[in-house]
């Protein structure tokens, strides 16, 4: 049987001109779609970038391309929700989860300092857990994980069974974290949104799973964070290639 062709569909939106001109990143998105689903994916991404809490974009690019490589099929990370009462308590919990993953506290602090230097990142920063050094040379652009999505209908089934809301934000973040943590070079991920109206973030790793933390910043704050902590002794270029190019389809079946 011929494998059905798969397409990567991507969007990026900014205000103050194109990202290349040093403008402010508003929104991005990446999906996988069969040919017959491309129109729906483009419409979804158009709306995602057009109506956004960071404001109206004046630049948007949406593109799709056929993918040659077969998709790797991966189960979603297990999800835990940790309720906290303040951003301070949330950050303390996040830091302790990262320490449980084997990352020394001074390296976490250094990574936090590095990511805070940028007001508007579009991708993630790759940090070596041994030296605390940034390992990508992408500046404000960072590395954007791409080519991951849920198999059609599987998130909805998963969310129903796990009593999770059908929010596209959770759907997308869980797919991203699952792809990021699947590779052996990954140690852990730390994330909170740059959107001023969303304060829940997470720490994820293969062993901890996806640990949601209900507050990691204050409402109104447009400073986001996405750090991929990695083992810098390994081949970093091949990890970046994996993040940007390896198609990963998240699959979930009801446990019998």
Interacting residues with ligand WAQ (CB under 6 A): 25, 28, 30, 121-124, 142, 144-145, 169-170, 173, 176, 191, 193-195, 198, 200-202, 212, 224, 226
Rounded (10°) CA dihedral 22, 24, 27, 31: 10
Q: Which is nearer to Mg ion, 33 or 186 (CB)?
A: 33
Residue closer to Mg ion (CB basis): 6 or 129: 6
CA–CA separation, 232 vs 115, rounded Å?
18
d(CA 197, CA 51): 13
Tell me, by CB under 5 A, how many residues bind Mg ion. Answer: 3
Choices 3-11, 73-81, 121-129, 194-202 (CB under 5 A): range interacting with Mg ion = 194-202
The residue among 182 and 194 lying less far from ligand WAQ, judged by its C-beta, is 194
CB nearer to ligand WAQ: pick between 104 and 113: 113
123 binds, among Mg ion, ligand WAQ, none (CB under 5 to 8 A by kind): ligand WAQ
Query: Which of ligand WAQ, Mg ion, none does 212 bind, CB closer than 5 to 8 A by kind?
Result: ligand WAQ
Number of residues written out for the chain: 256
CB closer to Mg ion, 136 vs 194:
194
Q: Which does 48 bind (CB under 5 to 8 A by kind): Mg ion, ligand WAQ, none?
A: none
Does residue 194 touch Mg ion according to CB under 5 A? yes
Handedness of CA 21, 22, 24, 28 (dihedral sign): positive
Are residues 188 and 208 in contact, defined by beta-carbon separation less than 8 angstroms? yes
- Residue 195 contacts Mg ion per CB under 5 A: yes
Residues 25 to 84: which contact Mg ion by CB under 5 A? 33
Q: Per CB under 5 A, does 89 bind Mg ion?
A: no
Token output for 77: 């990370």
E-strand stretches of the chain: 6-15, 24-34, 59-67, 72-74, 79-82, 125-128, 148-150, 186-192, 201-205, 209-213, 225-230, 248-250
Shortest Cβ 45–ligand WAQ spacing (Å):
12
CB closer to ligand WAQ, 37 vs 140:
140
Check if the beta carbon of residue 154 is closer than 8 Å to that of residue 252: yes
Look at residues 137, 254, 143, 157 and name the one whose alpha carbon lies nearest to residue 189. Answer: 143
Q: Which partner, ligand WAQ, Mg ion, none, binds residue 226 by CB below 5 to 8 Å per kind? A: ligand WAQ
């Amino acid at each position: 049987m011929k494998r059905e062709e798969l397409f990567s569909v991507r969007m990026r939106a900014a205000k103050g001109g194109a990202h290349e001109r040093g403008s402010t990143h508003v929104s991005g998105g990446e999906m996988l779609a069969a040919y017959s689903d491309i129109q729906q994916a483009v419409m979804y991404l158009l709306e995602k970038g057009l109506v956004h809490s960071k404001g109206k974009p004046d630049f948007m690019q949406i593109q799709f391309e056929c993918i040659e490589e077969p998709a790797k099929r991966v189960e979603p990370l297990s999800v835990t929700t940790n309720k906290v009462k303040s951003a301070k308590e949330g950050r303390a919990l996040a830091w302790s989860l990262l320490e449980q993953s084997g990352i020394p506290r001074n390296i976490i602090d250094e990574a936090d300092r590095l990511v805070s230097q940028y007001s508007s990142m579009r991708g993630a920063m790759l940090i070596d857990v041994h030296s605390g050094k940034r390992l990508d040379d992408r500046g404000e652009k960072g590395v954007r994980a791409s080519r991951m999505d849920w198999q059609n209908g599987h998130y909805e089934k998963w969310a129903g069974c796990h009593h999770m809301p059908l929010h596209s934000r959770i759907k997308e973040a869980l797919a991203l974290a699952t792809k990021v943590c699947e590779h052996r070079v990954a140690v852990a991920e730390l994330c909170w949104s740059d959107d001023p109206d969303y304060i829940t973030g997470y720490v994820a790793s293969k062993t901890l799973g996806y640990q949601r933390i209900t507050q990691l910043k204050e409402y109104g704050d447009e400073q986001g964070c996405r750090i991929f902590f990695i083992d810098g002794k390994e081949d970093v270029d091949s990890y970046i290639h994996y993040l940007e190019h390896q198609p990963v389809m998240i699959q979930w079946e009801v446990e019998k």
